C-alpha cells in the first residue's frame, strides 16, 4: 500500500515531474506489479469486478497494450510481485478476528441489490485496489507465454526492486510512494500515461526541498499514517492526513514525542522501521537476506550483544542524514541485525523455498501458516458462509486433508516446523478456531514417495490435464510405483514427468488412490468414459472433489438462490446456472457493469476454494519432490530459468476459476424463458425466442456469441449429470433427491433444445 494521503499532496505541491516516454528508450524497467495493477484498474474501473471475480476483463488487454509500447521503444520490463506477508501485514489480515472494511462493504452492497438490477452501484469498495494474490497464477502464465521476465520477491516487492536497482539489474523503478522510504533512492516512476506517451516521476531531493522536510521527518509522518511496512494508521493519527502532519512537523511538532505517550503505537512504529531496514531480498547468489546484510560484518566485537528491534528503530529514527544522498549502507555499518527480527518479518524459511517462491510455484497461504501458526480463512466475495462453504473450508474432512498437505510440505523442513502447533482461523461470524494436525507419523511423504511417473515422452512434450486423465488407469498407477530407492533409469527430469508425478501424488493425498496404490471408488470415476472424454477435465475434476469433500445434498446446490420463488423449475434454473458458470464466457475487454448473481458467485467462491485445496495438495507434492531430489536426475537444470518456468506454466490448478459471467448469462436466459412461458403458456416457441433475443441484447456487448456459449454450458451440465449418476451407482452420494434434481434439470434443458 502506498504512503497514506501522500500522493495527492505531492501533486498539490507540484512535486511530480513529467517526462516524455522516449527517455526510457532501451532501458530495463523494474515494475512493482501491485502498484502497476492498481494504476491500470483504479476503483472507478471494473465496478462489478468483485461481483463476478476471476480475471478482470480488461486487465490482460491493458498489459498487452503496454507491452507493445515497451517493445516499440526497446524497453525491457521486469515485473516484480510481492511475496510473503510480514508479521504486521498478516496481523492486519487477521484483523483482530473481525470483518474488515471490504467484507462489510460487500455484505452491505449484496444486501441492497439483486442480480436483476443493472449498473449504477459499484461492488468495489471506494479507493480500494484489486487484490492481486488470486491473480498470480493467471498473470505469471501470461508473462511466461509472452516471454516477459518476472520475479516474486521473498517479501516486499518495493525492497526487492531497490536491491535490483542498486545492483544495476534495472535502470529505473516503477513503484508507489513507498519507494521514497528507501535510501539511497533519488528518482523513480510513479505512473505511466501511455496515451500521452509520457510518465510521471518523483525526485526525492526535490520533494524534501519543496516540503521542507528531512528524510527522517518524511519517514516519521509516513509510518504514523500507514504504508507498506506499517500498514495501518496509528491510533493517535486516525483523522490526520499527510498535509496536516506536514504542517504539524514544519511548525515544530514531533511525531516521535507524540508516540511516546502510547507504548503500543510506538512499538508498531518501531516494528515498521525495522521491517523497512531489514526486509529480506533475493540476491544475486540465490541467498535471501536483508537488503544490506553483506555490510553487517563484525564491526562490533564478536562478544557484543545484538540490539533488539526497539533499540535499532530508535537509533534510526533519531539519526538525521547530512544530505539526502547519504547512503543507507554507510549509516548502517555500525548496526547489527536485531535478535528479535523474526517478530517483524516472520520465521525464516530455507533459501530453497524462497527460490520456488521467486518462480511463483508455491502457495503463500501454506508457507504463512507454518510461519505464523495460522491458516486463515476469510469471507468470500459474496459475503455468505453457506453450509456447503463451511464443509469445504472447516469441515472435518477438509481439516484432516489440510493437515496431510502440511505434513508433506514440512517433511524436509526443520523439525520445528514439523511439530509446531498450527490452527485454522476462520474469520466468519462467529469466529471458528480449529486445530490443524500436521504431526503425522509415519509421514505422508514416506507413503507417496514411491510414485514416480515416467512418461517416456520426447523432450519438449508439454503436460496437459486432459492427456494425464486419458492415460489414467489402474495400470498407469501400478506402473508408476517403484519398490525400492530409484535408480538412474527411474529418475525423472522432464517437466511433463515432474508435473505428472506431483499430480499423481496429489491424487493419493486427496483420496483418489489409496496408500497401497489401488484406485479408490472415487479414483475409479476418473477412468470412466464420461471423464476421459470430457472437454473440461479441470472443471469436472473440481466438481468431483467438491462432491467428495462436501458430501453434497440437493439443498447445498440450490441454496442460496437469487429467486424467491420455490418452484421445481426455479430450483433447476439455480442448479444449471451454477454448474454452467464454471466455464469461461469468451469476453471482450470492457468494463462490465451489467447483471450479476450472488448465488452464482457464492458457488464460484466454493469451487474456487476447491481449486485452492487441489492446488495446495499438488504444490506440497512438487515442493517435497524438489526438496528431496532423490527422484530427480542430476541433469535437472537448476540454473535454467526457462526450464523452471516451463514447470510453473505446466502445473495445473494454478490459474483462477473463471468469472461468473457464463453462469449469469445462463441464469438470465433461463429466467427469461420461464417467465415468458408462465406469461404465455400456449404460445409455442415464443418463450424461447424471447430468451434468445434477450440474451443476445444483454450480453452481446460483452461477448460475440453469448447464446452459443450458453448452449455449451448446457452440454457441460449434461456431462455433470452423467457423473452424478455414476456417483449414485457407486453409492458415493447419500441424498437421493440430488440425482432427481439433476435429472429434472436436464429435462428442462432438453425441453429448450
Q: Which phi and psi angles does 436 have, rounded to 5°?
A: -105, 130
pLDDT over 70 (residue 293):
no
190 and 227 in a single domain? The answer is no
The percent of residues above 70 in pLDDT, for the chain, comes to 92
586 and 670 in a single domain? The answer is yes
Residue appearing with cell numbers 514447470: 647
85 and 196 in a single domain? The answer is yes
As a whole number, mean pLDDT of residues 330-347 equals: 68
**Grid cell digits, residue 511:** 483420496
In a domain, 390, yes or no: yes
In a domain, 492, yes or no: no
In a domain, 353, yes or no: no
198 and 332 in a single domain? The answer is no
In a domain, 250, yes or no: yes
In a domain, 533, yes or no: no
Find the range with the poorest average confidence among 59-63, 340-344, 564-568: 564-568
Find the range with the poorest average confidence among 36-45, 288-297, 557-566, 583-592: 288-297
Burial, 146: exposed, middle or buried (Cβ in 10 Å; 0-12, 13-18, 19+)? exposed
Closest CA to 366 of 412, 407, 397: 407
- 430: cis peptide before it, omega within 30°? yes
Per-residue pLDDT tens for 268-284? 999 999 999 999 999 99
As a whole number, mean pLDDT of residues 384-402 equals: 96
**Grid cell digits, residue 157:** 516487492
Greater confidence, 533 or 299?
533
Find the range with the poorest average confidence among 291-295, 388-392, 398-402, 503-507: 291-295
Look at phi and psi of residue 262 and say left if phi exceeds 0, alpha if psi is from -120 to 50, else beta.
beta
Per-residue pLDDT tens for 413-439? 999 999 999 999 999 988 999 999 999
Distance CA 416, CA 196 (A): 55
In a domain, 741, yes or no: yes
* Residue-range definition of the domain harbouring residue 222: 212-345
Per-residue pLDDT tens for 212-271? 999 999 999 999 999 999 999 999 999 999 999 999 999 999 999 999 989 999 999 999
Last residue of a domain, one of 441, 465, 480: 441
**Grid cell digits, residue 223:** 509510518
In a domain, 721, yes or no: yes
191 and 271 in a single domain? The answer is no
Q: What predicted TM-score, i.e. pTM, was given to this entire model?
A: 0.93
57 and 149 in a single domain? The answer is yes
As a whole number, mean pLDDT of residues 95-105 equals: 86
**pLDDT confidence tier of residue 324, bands split at 50, 70 and 90:** very low
Residues with Cβ < 8 Å from 509, sequence gap 6 or more? 401, 404, 405, 408, 444, 448, 617, 620, 621
**pLDDT confidence tier of residue 338, bands split at 50, 70 and 90:** confident
pLDDT over 50 (residue 322):
no
pLDDT at position 430 is 87
**pLDDT confidence tier of residue 112, bands split at 50, 70 and 90:** confident
Last residue of a domain, one of 385, 414, 441: 441
Per-residue pLDDT tens for 435-461? 999 999 999 999 999 999 998 887 889
Write the CATH number for 80.
3.40.50.1010
pLDDT at position 98 is 85
57 and 171 in a single domain? The answer is yes
Greater confidence, 530 or 543?
543
Distance CA 584, CA 68 (A): 26
Which of helix, strand or coil describes residue 5?
coil
pLDDT at position 115 is 47
Distance CA 500, CA 454 (A): 8
Total count of domains within the chain: 4
Residue appearing with cell numbers 462467529: 430
In a domain, 523, yes or no: no
> Do residues 360 and 648 make contact, with C-beta atoms less than 8 angstroms apart?
yes
pLDDT over 50 (residue 300):
no
194 and 251 in a single domain? The answer is no
Look at phi and psi of residue 444 and say left if phi exceeds 0, alpha if psi is from -120 to 50, else beta.
alpha
Which of helix, strand or coil describes residue 376?
strand
Residues 467-497: b if buried by 16+ CB within 10 A, e if exposed = bbbbebbeebbeebebeeebeeeebbebbbb
557 and 703 in a single domain? The answer is yes
The count of C-alpha atoms lying within 13 angstroms of the C-alpha of 707, restricted to the half-sphere facing its C-beta, is 13
pLDDT at position 314 is 61
Last residue of a domain, one of 290, 310, 345: 345
pLDDT over 70 (residue 28):
yes
Cα Rg of the chain, angstroms: 27
pLDDT at position 196 is 92
pLDDT at position 315 is 57
188 and 301 in a single domain? The answer is no
154 and 75 in a single domain? The answer is yes
322 and 371 in a single domain? The answer is no
Greater confidence, 303 or 108?
108
pLDDT at position 297 is 39
Q: How far is CA 691 from CA 116, 579, 581, 592, 672, in A?
A: 15, 19, 18, 21, 5
Per-residue pLDDT tens for 623-663? 999 999 899 988 776 778 999 999 999 999 999 999 999 99
pLDDT over 90 (residue 341):
no
Long-range contacts of 198-202 (CB under 8 A, 24+ apart): 198/18, 198/19, 198/20, 198/21, 199/18, 199/19, 199/21, 199/24, 200/16, 200/17, 200/18, 201/16, 201/17, 201/18, 201/19, 202/10, 202/15, 202/16, 202/17, 202/177
pLDDT over 50 (residue 333):
no
Reported as type and span, the H/E element at residue 476 is helix 474-479
Residues with Cβ < 8 Å from 30, sequence gap 6 or more? 78, 80, 161, 164, 165, 169, 170, 172, 173, 174, 175
pLDDT at position 308 is 67
As a whole number, mean pLDDT of residues 149-165 equals: 97
Amino acid at each position: 500500500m502506498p504512503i497514506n494521503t501522500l500522493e495527492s499532496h505531492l501533486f498539490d505541491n507540484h512535486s511530480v515531474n513529467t517526462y516524455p516516454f522516449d527517455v526510457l528508450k532501451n532501458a530495463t524497467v523494474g515494475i512493482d506489479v501491485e502498484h502497476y495493477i492498481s494504476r491500470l484498474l483504479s476503483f472507478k474501473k471494473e465496478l462489478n469486478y468483485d461481483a463476478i471475480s476471476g480475471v478482470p476483463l480488461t486487465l490482460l488487454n491493458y498489459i498487452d497494450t503496454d507491452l507493445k509500447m515497451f517493445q516499440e521503444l526497446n524497453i525491457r520490463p521486469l515485473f516484480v510481485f510481492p511475496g510473503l506477508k510480514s508479521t504486521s501485514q498478516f496481523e492486519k489480515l487477521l484483523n483482530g478476528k473481525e470483518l474488515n472494511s471490504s467484507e462489510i462493504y460487500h455484505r452491505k452492497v449484496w444486501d441492497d441489490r439483486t442480480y436483476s438490477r443493472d449498473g449504477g452501484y459499484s461492488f468495489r469498495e471506494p479507493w480500494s485496489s484489486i487484490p492481486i494474490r488470486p491473480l498470480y497464477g493467471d498473470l505469471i502464465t501470461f508473462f511466461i507465454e509472452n516471454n516477459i521476465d518476472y520475479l516474486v520477491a521473498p517479501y516486499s516487492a518495493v525492497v526487492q526492486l531497490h536491491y535490483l536497482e542498486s545492483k544495476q539489474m534495472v535502470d529505473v523503478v516503477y513503484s508507489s510512494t513507498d519507494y521514497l522510504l528507501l535510501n539511497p533512492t533519488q528518482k523513480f516512476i510513479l505512473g505511466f500515461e501511455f496515451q500521452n506517451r509520457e510518465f510521471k516521476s518523483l525526485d526525492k531531493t526535490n520533494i524534501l526541498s519543496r516540503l521542507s522536510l528531512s528524510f527522517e521527518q518524511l519517514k516519521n509522518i509516513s509510518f504514523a499514517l500507514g504504508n507498506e511496512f506499517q500498514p495501518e494508521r496509528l491510533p493517535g493519527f486516525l483523522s490526520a492526513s499527510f498535509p496536516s502532519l506536514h504542517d504539524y512537523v514544519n511548525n515544530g511538532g514531533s511525531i516521535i514525542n507524540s508516540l511516546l505517550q502510547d507504548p503500543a503505537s510506538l512499538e508498531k512504529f518501531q516494528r515498521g522501521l525495522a521491517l523497512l531496514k531489514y526486509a529480506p531480498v533475493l540476491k544475486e547468489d540465490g541467498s535471501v537476506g536483508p537488503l544490506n546484510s553483506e555490510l553487517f560484518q563484525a564491526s562490533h566485537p564478536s562478544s557484543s550483544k545484538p540490539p533488539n528491534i526497539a533499540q535499532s528503530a530508535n537509533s534510526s529514527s533519531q539519526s538525521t542524514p547530512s544530505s539526502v544522498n547519504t547512503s543507507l549502507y554507510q549509516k548502517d555499518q555500525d548496526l547489527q541485525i536485531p535478535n528479535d527480527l523474526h517478530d517483524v518479518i516472520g520465521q525464516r524459511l530455507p533459501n530453497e523455498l524462497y527460490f520456488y517462491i521467486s518462480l511463483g510455484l508455491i502457495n503463500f497461504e501454506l508457507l504463512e501458516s507454518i510461519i505464523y501458526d495460522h491458516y486463515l480463512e476469510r469471507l468470500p466475495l459474496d459475503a455468505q458462509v453457506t453450509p456447503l462453504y463451511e464443509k469445504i473450508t472447516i469441515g472435518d474432512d477438509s481439516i484432516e486433508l489440510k493437515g496431510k498437505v502440511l505434513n508433506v510440505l514440512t517433511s524436509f523442513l526443520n523439525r520445528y516446523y514439523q511439530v509446531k502447533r498450527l490452527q485454522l482461523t476462520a474469520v466468519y461470524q462467529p469466529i471458528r478456531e480449529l486445530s490443524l494436525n500436521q504431526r503425522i507419523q509415519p509421514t505422508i511423504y514416506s507413503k507417496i514417495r514411491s510414485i514416480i511417473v515416467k512418461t517416456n515422452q520426447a523432450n519438449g512434450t508439454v503436460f496437459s490435464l486432459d492427456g494425464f486423465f486419458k492415460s489414467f488407469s489402474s495400470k498407469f498407477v501400478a506402473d508408476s510405483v517403484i519398490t525400492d530407492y530409484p535408480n538412474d533409469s527411474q529418475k525423472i527430469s522432464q517437466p511433463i514427468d515432474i508435473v505428472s508425478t506431483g499430480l499423481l501424488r496429489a491424487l493419493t493425498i486427496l483420496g483418489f488412490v489409496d496408500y497401497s496404490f489401488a484406485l479408490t471408488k472415487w479414483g475409479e470415476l476418473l477412468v470412466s468414459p464420461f471423464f476421459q472424454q470430457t472437454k473440461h477435465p479441470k472443471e469436472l475434476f473440481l466438481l468431483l472433489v467438491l462432491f467428495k469433500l462436501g458430501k453434497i445434498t440437493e439443498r447445498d446446490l440450490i441454496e442460496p438462490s437469487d429467486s424467491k420463488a420455490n418452484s421445481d423449475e426455479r430450483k433447476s434454473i439455480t442448479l444449471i446456472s451454477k454448474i454452467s458458470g464454471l466455464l469461461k464466457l469468451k469476453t471482450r475487454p470492457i468494463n462490465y457493469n451489467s447483471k450479476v448473481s450472488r448465488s452464482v458467485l457464492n458457488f464460484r467462491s466454493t469451487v474456487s476454494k476447491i481449486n485452492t485445496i487441489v492446488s495446495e495438495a499438488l504444490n506440497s507434492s512438487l515442493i517435497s519432490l524438489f526438496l528431496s531430489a532423490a527422484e530427480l536426475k542430476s541433469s535437472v537444470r537448476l540454473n535454467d530459468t526457462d526450464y523452471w518456468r516451463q514447470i510453473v506454466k505446466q502445473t495445473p490448478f494454478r490459474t483462477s476459476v473463471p468469472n461468473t459471467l457464463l453462469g449469469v448469462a445462463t441464469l438470465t436466459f433461463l429466467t427469461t424463458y420461464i417467465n415468458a412461458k408462465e406469461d404465455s403458456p400456449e404460445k409455442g416457441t415464443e418463450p424461447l425466442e424471447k430468451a434468445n433475443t434477450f440474451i443476445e441484447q444483454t450480453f452481446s456487448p460483452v461477448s460475440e456469441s453469448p447464446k452459443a456459449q450458453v448452449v455449451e454450458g448446457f452440454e457441460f451440465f449434461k456431462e455433470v449429470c452423467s457423473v452424478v449418476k455414476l456417483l449414485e451407482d457407486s453409492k458415493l452420494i447419500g441424498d437421493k433427491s440430488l440425482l432427481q434434481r439433476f435429472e429434472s434439470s436436464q429435462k428442462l434443458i432438453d425441453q429448450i433444445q
